[in-house]
Amino acid sequence: MKKEAIIIAGPNGSGKTTFANNFIEEYPFTYINADNIIKEAYSPQITNLRSETLKIIFNKIETTVNSGANFIIETTLSGRYFIRLIESLISNNYEITIIYIFLENPKLCVERIKERVLKGGHYISDVEVERRFYRSKNNFWKLYRQYCDKWFVFYNSTQQFTELAIGKKDNYIVSNRNLFNIFLKDIKQ
């Protein structure tokens, strides 16, 4: 039986943590949550928190992969650094699923992040949120979906996750054409 790695992806504020928390209530996966790692790792003595956090995250992933455990992890996919991780997972016989969650526009992401901050969550600048919003979607569609065994796209602008497409690489089935067109409108051709 193949081991499973599930990557919950999408822009900041899209609902990745909520989705992951709901998922692990039903399935016994190890949950690698960068936000929790940042909270645990934070210390005034750390001068480069992002770099230190990434080291901790990748060490935790390596430990989890070496143990053969199924796991779930969140990312924006706004960069390309997850490609090495995915290639490593493939060589370690993992089945890889990407669940991509998106909102209709970056302004909605910013609003949700402001709500999160009021509840004690972490802040991300509006400029960074907007930059990641477009890069995330383009990277998923043009790059990352080619590396996984299967992928799903969910819409979450209405506080309810709505599955709108499922696929494997370039082959896919769309269950909600209107929402899928909203998803595709920001992708550079």
Residue 189 lies in a domain: no
By CB neighbour count within 10 A (0-12 exposed, 13-18 middle, 19+ buried), where does 103 fall? Answer: buried
pLDDT exceeds 60 at position 45: no
Question: Is 60 strand, coil or helix?
Answer: helix
* pLDDT reading at 27 higher than 70: yes
Structural domain contains residue 156: yes
pLDDT digits 0-9 by tens, 79-133 = 998 999 999 999 999 999 999 999 999 999 999 999 888 887 778 888 999 999 9
Residue 168 domain-assigned (yes or no): yes
Q: What is the pLDDT of residue 123?
A: 82
d(Cα 139, Cα 142) in Å, to the nearest integer? 5
Its domain, for residue 92, covers 3-184
Whether 93 is in a domain gets the answer yes
Amino acid at 75: T
In 24-179, where do the E strands start and end? 30-32, 71-75, 94-102, 150-155, 162-168, 171-174
User: Looking at residue 45, which CATH number applies to its domain?
Assistant: 3.40.50.300
Parallel, antiparallel or unpaired: strands 162-168 and 150-155: antiparallel
Q: How many domains does the chain have?
A: 1
What 3-state DSSP class applies to 7? strand
Residue 176: inside a domain: yes
Q: Model-level pTM?
A: 0.92
Indicate whether 12 belongs to any domain.
yes
Report if residue 87 sits inside a domain. Answer: yes
Chain segment 122-174, per-residue pLDDT in tens: 788 889 999 999 999 999 999 999 999 999 999 999 879 999 999 999 999 99
Contact 139, 78 (CB under 8 A): yes
